[in-house]
Amino acid sequence: MSEQLIFERSRPGRRAFAQAPLTDSNGSVPENLQRHDRPTLPEVSELQVVRHFTRLSQRNFSIDTHFYPLGSCTMKYNPRACNSLALLPGFASRHPLGPVSHGQGFLSCMYELQDMLKSVTGMQEVSLTPMAGAQGELAGVAMIRAYHLANGAAERDEIIVPDAAHGTNPATATMCGCTVREIPTDAEGDVDLEALRSVVGPKTAGIMLTNPSTLGVFERHITEIADIVHDAGGLLYYDGANLNAILGKVRPGDMGFDVIHLNLHKTFSTPHGGGGPGSGAVGVGERLKPFLPIPVVGKKDIDGQPVYSWLDEEDLPQSIGRLSGFMGNAGVLLRAYVYMRMVGKDGMKRISEFATLNANYLEARMQKAGFELAFPSRRASHEFIVTLKHEAKTLGVTAMDFAKALLDKGFHAPTTYFPLLVPECLLIEPTESETKESVDRFVEAMIEIKDEAMTDADKVKGAPYTLPVRRLDDVKAARHLNLAWKADRD
């Protein structure tokens, strides 16, 4: 049953008092800046507003309501305390242009967050400025580029990207003016070292790697890769997308990475998947310190008291610059701070241990139930890949059909058709938050769908049946965008 737009419910003259506009009673807005035409807003009653948005919220397929094993996305529980503490008035009412002396509490939290991130990643310095994962990537590669330019090596403009990489990696390299050299992955999911050796050289700027990779396995040759790239004069960039798998266990800095971005919203407790706001904090090793995006939070001791301040162009003259008006998304950074303080050092280990335990348990059960694993010889990291190519070939039921049928059974679908290397794949990430019971129920649902596919393939191909909308026309959606309601103005 589709929900009418709230604009479609509008009837002239209806009013909702709770949503009445504020009037400028004290005359603080100058006459020439006041609007005189009415905004185009729906005219509805208060109860209509309440019902409309309550119904929409009930249709939200979210981590708060359902198991959400969306591979590569780490859809884990975000503790409520992280949000409520980030909303304390001292944080939420702080104006970013207010004097630094009025924001010492906030700045001290940010300074400690930088420190905690250094410690968990093994990097030397951290900047919290990037506002999202993609911006963190951009900052990371821009720093690599700035490093080579500062060393008079402008010709180093090639970024090596394994074919298993996230699509954002080659996009980032291109945005930074670099050329992408793609290298293949071997049959066991590791980077092909021979191919790597054959592409590194005097033009190499660096390599972008995710470890564990998007194939759900740990890159076993990482120190060898680091040596090959460093010996060729290049730097190593770590995509922090899969950090949840190794938290507290292995550190990218120890693996030899020179720069790393972290999706704080993902690994450290901000609800995500809705398009932001996010945080793509970056960490760097010794070589890239001068190039960090500003501002960074600094600390001085004055008369035995810690005093926090912004480090800007004066302190970091070689910085790649500013990425946002202030310093990232304060709310996301505060949630990450609270989360890290709550779980502590030992908690970090438990996160990765349970994330990998859940993934390996689920993987083993799926294999036992007759599903084919993409990398059966490898232990899963925090996620793993099932390929449904035999089901697609013999039953005509594709990974997408399984994904849709799972929705009817009360599960968010795993990631479909990514990574691109594996045909008809589902990338499944249960996270540390799920109980054994919910993981078991997921396996049972997959078995039920497979049984249905063998007896009545068309039924599975018609799924979903129980959601507000049935199978969507992806092609039409991509080619004929219809994103915004437009008013019929006079």
Partner 1 sequence: MSELPGDLKYTKEHEWLRQEEDGTVTIGITDHAQSALGDLVYVELPEVGQEVESGGEMAVVESVKAASDVYAPIAGEVVAVNEELADDPEKINADAYGEGWIVRMQPTGEDEETMNPDEYQEFLDALDE
Pick the closest to residue 135 from 16, 281, 4 (CA basis): 281
Between 20 and 483, name the residue whose CB sits nearer to partner 1.
483
Cβ atoms of residues 463 and 408 within 8 Å? yes
Three-state SS string over 432-453 comes to CCCCHHHHHHHHHHHHHHHHHH
At its nearest, how many Å lie between partner 1 and the CB of residue 430? 23
Between 7 and 418, name the residue whose CB sits nearer to partner 1.
418
At its nearest, how many Å lie between partner 1 and the CB of residue 197? 18
Q: Is 157 in the site for partner 1 (CB under 8 A)?
A: no
Q: Candidates 271-279, 294-302, 463-471, 475-483 — which segment interacts with partner 1 by CB under 8 A? A: 475-483
Q: Is 417 in the site for partner 1 (CB under 8 A)?
A: yes
Q: Is 33 in the site for partner 1 (CB under 8 A)?
A: no
Cβ atoms of residues 340 and 349 within 8 Å? no
Q: Is 478 in the site for partner 1 (CB under 8 A)?
A: yes
Pick the closest to residue 133 from 236, 222, 62, 238 (CA basis): 238
Q: Is 423 in the site for partner 1 (CB under 8 A)?
A: yes
Furthest-apart CA atoms within the chain: distance in Å: 78
Q: Is 474 in the site for partner 1 (CB under 8 A)?
A: yes
CA angle centred on 273, ends 275 and 434, rounded to 5°: 165
Cβ atoms of residues 287 and 123 within 8 Å? no
Which residues are CB-neighbours of 19 under 8 A, at least 6 positions away? 46, 49
Q: Is 268 exposed, middle or buried (0-12, 13-18, 19+ CB in 10 A)?
A: buried
At its nearest, how many Å lie between partner 1 and the CB of residue 359? 23
Which residues are CB-neighbours of 390 under 8 A, at least 6 positions away? 372
Show the DSSP H helices in 87-209 as ranges. Answer: 89-92, 104-121, 133-150, 168-175, 193-199
At its nearest, how many Å lie between partner 1 and the CB of residue 418? 7
Between 29 and 420, name the residue whose CB sits nearer to partner 1.
420
Contact with partner 1 (CB under 8 A): which of 47, 97, 475, 484?
Answer: 475
Q: In what order do the strands lie in the sheet with 235-239?
A: 125-127, 282-284, 259-261, 235-239, 204-210, 158-162, 179-183
Cβ atoms of residues 164 and 374 within 8 Å? no
**Angstrom distance (rounded) from CA 98 to CA 107:** 12
Q: Candidates 265-273, 338-346, 455-463, 471-479 — which segment interacts with partner 1 by CB under 8 A? A: 471-479
Q: Candidates 36-44, 63-71, 343-351, 414-422 — which segment interacts with partner 1 by CB under 8 A? A: 414-422
Q: Is 167 in the site for partner 1 (CB under 8 A)?
A: yes
Q: Is the dihedral angle over the CA atoms 261, 264, 267, 268 positive or is it negative?
A: positive
Q: Is 418 in the site for partner 1 (CB under 8 A)?
A: yes
Q: Candidates 226-234, 252-260, 273-281, 416-424 — which segment interacts with partner 1 by CB under 8 A? A: 416-424
Count of residues touching partner 1 (by CB under 8 A): 12
At its nearest, how many Å lie between partner 1 and the CB of residue 251? 32
Region 380-409 residues binding partner 1, contact defined as CB under 8 A: 389, 393
Q: Candidates 31-39, 314-322, 418-426, 438-446 — which segment interacts with partner 1 by CB under 8 A? A: 418-426
Contact with partner 1 (CB under 8 A): which of 213, 270, 416, 431?
Answer: 416
Contact with partner 1 (CB under 8 A): which of 300, 368, 479, 486?
Answer: 479
- Residues of this chain that interact with partner 1 (CB under 8 A) are 167, 389, 393, 416-418, 420, 423, 474-475, 478-479
